[in-house]
Structure 1
């Protein structure tokens, strides 16, 4: 036994084991994210670039129509980056619909944000697993994830302000309803502007 151990030390048995592990296919190495090891492919019946900006169309219609598309994507290719990108924009739409109102229930809004953050985290894992080579469009998914993370932070600010009943200062009141409302921390305008950036990133996917 000791002789075999010595031979292993000299011949590199451990290296051989590592080589064998390295030769495993991506799906074997990461079965959880196996579907993410293929380059994102948008189904021909799904049109990116069609998600409306805030206020262009009724939110309820957007969510219903795109949830149908989301189900089709999951059936055809499982939960890939294509799936997560659409799921994120739908969830952001739901959250914006809630917190854009003058008053809302913070606890209910927090549930929407928690769901969004979960989708973002899953999408990030899928992005890490996706093949970086021969896929120039992959970088666009990183832009979407960055904008979604920023949006989530602004929604959290909005919820916190509502929960703590923080009144707007006189200076902030002058900005509410104007072009610079997005600069007011915890305002609906700040959330909507961030949401539209998520939509923009989503619509640039290809």
Structure 2
């Protein structure tokens, strides 16, 4: 397996904590510093397309990798990009259910928005030394922001108890479910777009 030297385009460090990182509860906006240093990047963890029947209980290995990144590199864009997809998987698992508790889902959405905001601060602080990589991060953050909007649609529809109209009911469970505003299918499709962009980062 080839290991390529890459540029860490941001050393974006927040306040250090004594315990392991917790992307589901992260709320701080980091103070980003511009740092340009070379390192050998480990083979990144890749995520697959969502499977509704999957319990997706393998997040612990991703959380362990997140802790390793923080220890080795600090809270860089690489750290936040992985934290975002971990949080997105948690959120999708909840919203893919036919019924969920809106208040709990909103907590997941708030945690995600905090991570996206932190990643965007790192992105802004990054020196333009690796434009190709920065562009890929930009795509991923744009997809994550769009996912957040789709999540809010799903939560709002469920919270307001808005039923699907006959046309939407015909789409639910089919290939075009992703076109229905506030549907689980739209959340899953948006999630898969973020994952696709994440997998292209390295």
Q: Per-residue deviation at 1:60?
A: 1.3
Structure 2 stretches of 5 or more lacking a match?
Answer: 1-9, 12-29
Structure 1 outlier segments of 4+, above 4 Å: 39-42
Question: Mapping of 1:13-92 within 5 angstroms?
Answer: 32-34=31-33, 36-38=34-36, 43-44=41-42, 46-48=43-45, 50-55=46-51, 58-61=55-58, 63-92=59-88
Structure 1 residue 176 and structure 2 residue 175: aligned?
no
Distance 1:152 1:40, change over 3 A: farther
**Scaled by the length of structure 2, what TM-score is found?**
0.81
| Structure with the largest fraction of strand | 2
CA displacement at 1:43 relative to structure 2: 3.1
Aligned partners of 2:76 and 2:98: how far apart in 1?
36
Coordinate RMSD, CA, aligned: 2.1
Deviation at 1:94, TM superposition (A): 0.3
Q: Distance in 2 between matches of 1:163 and 1:202?
A: 30
Q: How many residues align?
A: 174
Q: Offset of 1:131 from its aligned partner?
A: 1.1
Matches within 5 A, 1:88-107: 88-107=84-103
Distance in 2 (alpha carbons) for counterparts of 1:111 and 1:135: 34
Q: Please give the TM-score of this superposition, normalised by the length of structure 1.
A: 0.79
| 1:58 CA displacement | 3.8
Question: Within 1, Cα distance between the matches of 2:32 and 2:40?
Answer: 18
Among 192, 199, 202, the residue aligned to 1:196:
192
More helix as a share of residues: 1
> What does residue 142 of structure 2 align with?
146
Question: In 1, distance between residues paired with 2:107 and 2:38?
Answer: 29
Q: Which runs of 5 or more structure 1 residues have no equivalent in the other structure?
A: 1-25
